[in-house]
Structure 1
Amino acid sequence: MSESLSLKAFVVLMKSSKSVQEQIKKDISNYDMKTSDFTILEAIYHKGRQTVRQISEAVLINTGSITYVIDKLETKGLLERSACKEDRRVVYIQITESGKQLMDEIFPKHQKVIEEIFEDISAEEKKTVIDILKRVGKKVEK
């Protein structure tokens, strides 16, 4: 049986993804956070005030789990909720000044870890990887 390049690409993608995720998880743990805490905080840090649904779509965590994480981050004073004046069913989540200060301190360090992971890959290669992975994702979403 000949080697299937699709199968090989899949295996390499999965192994690479696992390795990168483990490295990122290790980095985030240095800040006394879980990955879900950091991802939600990071999404609001960069995108500003969001609804729970918007956060859920951005970070790929289901809304039930997100509510629990938001509760924890709110208790720590890093996030706060505010009601939507037009629709009482909608609740906005925004970063507090304390949360912003924390992310101002740790996000550059986190970004440096990501930059180091990709440091041996040229800008052109990164663009190619992004394009290919987007195409794979769109194919699966059909």
Structure 2
Amino acid sequence: MVDMAKQSASTKLSSDASEIRAAVFRLSRRLKQQRAVSDMTDGQFAVLVALKVHGPHTLSALAEREGITAPSMNRTVNCLEELGHLSRTENGDDRRKVDIQITESGRRVVEETARRRDEWLSKVLADLSPEDRQTLRSAAAIIMREVER
């Protein structure tokens, strides 16, 4: 009897996980569609956000932060640099290193994209009841707590 209860609870958790994953994935896709620059990849945008939030990085530190190889990051950085969204400057402490930093153009892309995404989500939330919005705020707090552990 105990094994059946454990199996039932495990099945329920698995089902819950699938439902939550699917909902978060669909929401993420819809939010990603709200961009300031339509031809920018998610990876390129993530680099701009990292530089805006965390400040200048070396190429290797940026690659590590984003979980990709240094050659892949170099291609991303080259593209963003050509577009004027970031720049490279000599590191003040070690002249062998180069710091990558976001430019004003890159900052505008991040801010406009965030604005568009917030605007889209605000329209969705406006159609919900206060109770549903509170439920989503609570869920957001739980998700943030768990992903930051």
Query: After TM superposition, is the score higher than 0.5?
Result: yes
Match of 2:27 among 10, 20, 43: 20
Q: Is 1:110 matched with 2:124?
A: no
Task: Work out the CA distance in 2 between the residues paired with 1:111 and 1:22.
Answer: 14
CA contact (8 A) 1:40 1:59 kept: yes
Instruction: Tell me the matched-pair count.
Output: 135
Distance 1:57 1:111 in 2: 28
Greater Cα offset, 68-77 or 33-42: 33-42
CA distance, structure 1, for counterparts of residue 68 and residue 121 of structure 2: 21
8 Å CA contact 1:53–1:63 kept in 2: the answer is: yes
* Cα distance, 1:24–1:104 mapped onto 2, change above 3 Å: closer
Over the matched positions of the two proteins, sequence identity in percent amounts to: 22
**Where do residues 58-97 of structure 1 align in structure 2 (5 Å cutoff)?**
58-97=65-104
Q: Deviations over 1:14-62 (max 9, x none)?
A: 3123213321332238633111111111221222212234433444444
C-alpha change, 1:50 and 1:104, in structure 2 (3 Å) is same
Cα distance, 1:76 vs structure 2: 0.9
Residue 127 and residue 108 in structure 1: after superposition, are their counterparts in 2 closer, same or farther (change >3 A)? same
Q: Which protein shows a greater Rg?
A: 2
Task: State whether structure 2 residue 133 is matched by structure 1 residue 126.
Answer: no
Please say if residues 28 and 38 of structure 1, whose CA atoms lie closer than 8 Å, have aligned partners that are also in contact: no
Bigger relative contact order, structure 1 or 2 (CA pairs below 8 A, ≥6 apart):
2
Q: Deviations over 1:65-93 (max 9, x none)?
A: 22111110001111111222333453211
- Residues 104-126 of structure 1: per-residue CA shift (max 9 Å, x gap): 43332233345566774423332
In structure 2, do the counterparts of structure 1 residues 89 and 60 end up closer, same or farther at CA, with 3 Å as the change threshold? same
1:41 & 1:22 partners in 2: Cα distance? 19
Contact kept? 1:83, 1:92, Cα under 8 Å: yes
Q: What's 1:34 paired with?
A: 41
Cα gap change, 1:66/1:125 in structure 2, threshold over 3 Å: closer, same or farther? Answer: same
